[in-house]
Every structure is written in C-alpha cells, then in structure tokens.
Amino acid sequence: MNAVVSRLDGFGRGGWIAAMIVGFVLFWPLGLAILFYMIWSGRMGCGYQGTWNEHRAARWERKMSRMQEKMDRWNEFRQRMWGGGAPAGFAPSGNRAFDEYRSETIRRLEDEAQEFRDFLDRLRHAKDKAEFEQFMEDRKNRPLDVRGEEKPQG
C-alpha cells in the first residue's frame, strides 16, 4: 500500500486524480475511497492538516499586505495628482473658477441634504410622540374590573 501511495505521490496531484477516475470507472466505491483519502490526507489541498491551515493564513496575510500596498500607492498618486483638495470622485477641471463653483455647489447640496435629514428626524419624533400620547389616552380610558385591574378586551 505504501508503495502505491509513494508512487502516486511521485506523479503529483494529476496522478491521484487519474487514479480516482480509474477507480470510479472500475468500481465506484474504490473511486470514492480514493477521493476521501485524497481530501483527508491533504493531497487535494483542502484537508484539515495544520500545515494547510497555516499555509492558508500566510497566503491570506500576503494578499492583505499586497492590497494595503496598492491602497497606499493609490493614495500617494491621488495626493500627487489632485492634492487632496478635489471633492471625492472629481478630478480638477483645470479651470479654477469652475472648480470653486463646483465645490461650493456640492457643499451647499450637502448642507441642504443634512437639513432635510434633520427635518425628517423631527417629523418622525413628532409622529412618535403623537402615537404615544394616543396610546396613553386610550389606556387611561379603558374600563376597569371590580378589583381595579383592566378588563380583558375581546
């Protein structure tokens, strides 16, 4: 058995896959057994070995550091090109008067949007307050039973 495993390991993952396919063709439980062995032993790269999990963690760490480097380069590029003064998503047009007008208009729209959100919050609060007062009024007017407790409605 060890000789067969070491011989298939010599062929790599392709040898194991070929053996699994041949196993399925000849006798399906044999192919299934080879598949489970490949997964369990980590030969498919999806086993539960500690080294595989460590490999995945290291790979994830490398990906995250590359992403951080890309973001840093992008921020440096953006800072060089636009000086950080242009509104998000807008590059300078080259016309200073237009850029100032655009910035002022965007700032004014953001202020109006904030005022509208504040108005909606006040409106919701007033509605909630009115509903609560109505609930308290209804509760106060409910009939009581002999013991002074509320009668069940229904």
Q: Is the pLDDT of residue 149 over 70?
A: no
Arithmetic mean of pLDDT over the chain: 80
- Can you give the residue ranges of every domain in the chain? 2-48, 78-140
Mean pLDDT of 77-90: 65
pLDDT for res 47: 47
From CA 8, how far away is CA 94, in angstroms rounded? 66
pLDDT for res 52: 56
Residues 6+ apart with CB under 8 A from 20: 31, 34, 35, 38
pLDDT tens-digit series, residues 18-49: 888 888 898 888 888 888 888 787 777 654 45
pLDDT tens-digit series, residues 62-81: 888 898 898 888 888 877 77
